[in-house]
């Protein structure tokens, strides 16, 4: 029971810290104890075979734990996981505004979803208020964005892998030009401090420092705000083609080490690191757990979600908090004492030390256990979160709304969100006319976008019927048919009728005919006809006379 209470308190603290410190962003930056570990094996929450038409490429988990993922094959998906009879069931939901282009990356803010399109080389923004009302954001480097990020100042960043640069622009500014935030001006790859070689994942902290996963240089580069000169925070001897990077609440770095098929943690002072996922001593088992991961994201409880692109799946690695709470039948250790013990242990490897043997982990556990035994008998008061008189708010100052409608814009298509404790979700959506569904996601209007083709105008006749007022030259239910202006038209003298966009024309088979229907005959033809008739008459007369003499 004590373990369960401690676990609940730890999870609540993670939530309070995250909401009170990062309420302006939509991604999670949990706070962890120094001894946090994650499950060795990942739970597969979603999988698709190649014949189903998509391969997951990027992932984003919002502060409401809704999972967003995209793929190369024109799909944008959210995945909802709920507890059902003591097990989590994860179901996908295919969002309607899927792009017609291949999607490289996505980033989600409180306002909507940004997608990077591959062939169009543009960024599309889909607002949560109306996912069908997209806005196109162009960029002037003639290559698609490989990864996206939007910082706290509403500046969007785009890593352009083939140009070896990271560019940015202010979304709220009237100036739509992009500037280079990292990389050479000549867009050539370089291993110098101000250069990059196929940049992948990017992250911008609250100080506007830009972290870049510099794949082909096997390093993580930090570009401080206003500087184009990078600092290497993880060197080339430890990682191989990093593909993504995330910072937690304490600015520790979580790196997707793609080439080594693992996730590693680098401390915020860049002096030590340790392997978190995919680091088993048994290399054969390592290949079964992760294989060339491409992207990762935290949920609000600190669980890690990883795109395992080579196997076409999404894996969830649960946070194990047992090592962050007190031993059985002992009081909870204060954070300061616990962190001091861990700092004196050897669970982290120095970045200058190449060894990563399992024996070092075992010695670390032994030294930690010895240190714990010397202090667990001390009576320490456990930390308890503040209790707010109003159950609708949380936080240390009880000033953060915990009502669903205030946390996330669930209702789509301009629906109105109403908090309702009597429902399982805690809210209800009041939909605009023509929409229904739990989140007003179903568009039932007869006149939908592009239902009338070729510039036709849709007119609602009633709740289920519509009429397309087609432009001139088009007809059909959806204006899909071009009017055949040759219908019931006869072209004379073997002329051929050709239908035009708004008319028809008769193409005469000879220059001897003219007119709209080839009805006019040239004078030379008329003379020829008369002469031919005269000769024919004379020939008949001659034959008749000869026949009379015989």
Residues 81 and 226 in one domain: yes
DSSP string, 446-457: SS-TT-S-TT-E
DSSP E strand boundaries for 267-346? 272-277, 295-298, 304-308, 313-317, 319-320
CB atoms near residue 285 (< 10 Å): 12
Residues 66 and 198 in one domain: yes
Which of 91-100, 144-153, 458-467 is predicted least confidently? 91-100
Residues 157 and 269 in one domain: yes
* DSSP state at residue 492: S
Of 381, 411, 444, the residue that ends a domain is: 444
Residue 249 in 3-state DSSP?
A: coil
Residues 402 and 312 in one domain: no
Nearest CA to 354 among 235, 236, 238?
Answer: 238
Q: Is residue 14 part of a domain?
A: no
End-to-end CA distance of the chain: 137
pTM metric for this prediction: 0.59
The mean pLDDT of 220-244, rounded to a whole number, is 87
Using one digit for the tens of pLDDT, what is the confidence trace for 305-351?
999 877 888 889 999 875 665 444 444 444 444 444 444 433 566 66
CATH of the domain at 141: 2.120.10.30
**Please, what is the average pLDDT of the chain?**
77
Using one digit for the tens of pLDDT, what is the confidence trace for 443-455?
888 888 778 988 8
pLDDT over 70 at 244, yes or no: yes
Band (278; pLDDT cuts 50, 70, 90): confident
Number of domains in the chain: 2
Q: Is residue 348 part of a domain?
A: no
Phi-psi region of 365 (alpha: psi -120 to 50; beta: other; left: phi over 0): alpha
CB atoms near residue 200 (< 10 Å): 24
CATH of the domain at 417: 2.10.25.10
Alpha-helical segments (H) within 410-522: none
Using one digit for the tens of pLDDT, what is the confidence trace for 328-338?
444 444 444 44
Place of tokens 């669930």: 410
Residue 181 in 3-state DSSP?
A: strand
Residue 205 in 3-state DSSP?
A: coil
Which residues are paired to 350 by β-bridges? 272
DSSP string, 338-389: HHHHHHTS-SSEETT-----HHHHHHHHHHHHHHHHTTTTS--PPP-PPPPS
Phi and psi torsions of 493, nearest 5°: 55, 40
Question: Rounded to whole angstroms, how far apart are CA atoms 515 and 504?
Answer: 13
Which residues are paired to 108 by β-bridges? 113
Using one digit for the tens of pLDDT, what is the confidence trace for 356-396?
444 444 444 444 444 445 444 444 455 556 677 787 777 77
> 335-343 and 358-373 helices cross at what angle (nearest 10)?
140
Confidence at residue 376, expressed as pLDDT on a 0 to 100 scale: 44
pLDDT over 70 at 19, yes or no: no
Q: Is the Cβ–Cβ distance between 350 and 272 less than 8 Å?
A: yes
CA distances from 54 to 93, 141, 439, 478 (A): 14, 27, 25, 30
Confidence at residue 88, expressed as pLDDT on a 0 to 100 scale: 47
- Sign of the torsion formed by the C-alpha atoms of 320, 326, 332 and 338: negative
Question: Rounded to whole angstroms, how far apart are CA atoms 281 and 293?
Answer: 19
Residues 149 and 284 in one domain: yes
Which residues are paired to 170 by β-bridges? 155
Q: Is residue 502 part of a domain?
A: no
Confidence at residue 350, expressed as pLDDT on a 0 to 100 scale: 67
* DSSP state at residue 50: G
For β-strands 513-514 and 210-214, DSSP reports them as unpaired
Q: Is the Cβ–Cβ distance between 193 and 229 less than 8 Å?
A: yes
Give the domain extent around 241.
23-317
Q: Is residue 484 part of a domain?
A: no
pLDDT over 70 at 40, yes or no: yes
């Amino acid at each position: 029971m004590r373990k369960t209470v401690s676990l609940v308190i730890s999870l609540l603290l993670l939530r309070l810290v995250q909401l009170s410190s990062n309420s302006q962003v939509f991604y999670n930056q949990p706070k962890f104890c120094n001894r946090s570990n994650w499950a060795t094996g990942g739970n597969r929450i979603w999988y698709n075979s190649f014949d189903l038409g998509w391969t997951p490429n990027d992932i984003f988990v919002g502060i409401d734990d809704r999972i967003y993922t995209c793929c190369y094959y024109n799909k944008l998906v959210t995945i909802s996981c709920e507890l059902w009879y003591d097990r989590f069931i994860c179901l996908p939901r295919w969002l309607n505004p899927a792009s017609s282009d291949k999607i490289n990356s996505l980033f989600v803010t409180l306002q909507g979803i940004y997608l990077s399109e591959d062939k169009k080389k543009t960024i599309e923004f889909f607002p949560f208020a109306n996912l069908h009302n997209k806005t196109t954001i162009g960029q002037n480097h003639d290559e698609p964005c490989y990864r996206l990020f939007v910082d706290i100042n509403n500046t969007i960043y785009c890593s352009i892998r083939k140009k070896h640069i990271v560019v940015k622009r202010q979304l709220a500014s009237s100036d739509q030009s992009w500037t280079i935030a990292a990389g050479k001006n000549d867009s050539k790859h370089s291993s110098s401090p101000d250069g990059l070689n196929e940049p992948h994942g990017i992250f911008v902290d609250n100080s506007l420092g830009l972290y870049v996963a510099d794949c082909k240089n096997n390093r993580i580069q930090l570009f401080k705000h206003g500087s184009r000169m990078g600092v290497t925070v993880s060197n080339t001897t430890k990682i191989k083609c990093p593909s993504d990077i995330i910072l937690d609440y304490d600015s520790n770095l979580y790196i997707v080490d793609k080439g080594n098929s693992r996730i590693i943690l680098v401390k915020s002072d860049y002096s030590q690191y340790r392997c978190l996922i995919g680091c088993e001593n048994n290399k054969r088992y390592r290949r079964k757990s992760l294989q060339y991961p491409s992207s990762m994201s935290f949920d609000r409880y600190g669980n890690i979600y990883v795109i395992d692109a080579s196997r076409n799946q999404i894996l969830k690695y649960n946070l194990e908090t047992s090592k962050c709470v007190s031993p059985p039948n002992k009081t909870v250790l204060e954070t300061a004492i616990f962190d001091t013990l861990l700092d004196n242990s050897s669970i982290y490897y120095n970045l200058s030390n190449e060894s990563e043997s399992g024996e070092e982990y075992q010695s670390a556990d032994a030294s930690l256990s010895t240190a714990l035994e010397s202090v667990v008998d001390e009576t320490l008061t456990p930390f308890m979160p503040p209790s707010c008189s109003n159950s609708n708010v949380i936080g240390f100052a009880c000033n953060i709304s915990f009502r669903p409608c205030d946390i996330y814009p669930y209702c789509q298509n301009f629906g109105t969100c109403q908090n309702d404790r009597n429902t399982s979700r805690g809210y209800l959506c009041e939909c605009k006319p023509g929409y229904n569904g739990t989140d007003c996601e179903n568009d039932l209007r007869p006149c939908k976008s592009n239902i009338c083709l070729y510039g036709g105008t849709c007119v609602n006749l009633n709740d289920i019927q519509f009429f397309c007022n087609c432009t001139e030259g088009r007809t059909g239910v959806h204006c899909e048919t071009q009017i055949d202006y040759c219908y019931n038209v006869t072209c004379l003298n073997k002329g051929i009728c050709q239908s035009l966009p708004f008319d028809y024309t008769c193409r005469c088979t000879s220059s001897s005919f003219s007119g709209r229907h080839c009805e006019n005959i040239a004078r030379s033809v008329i003379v020829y006809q008369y002469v031919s008739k005269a000769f024919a008459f004379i020939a008949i007369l001659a034959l008749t006379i000869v026949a009379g003499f015989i």
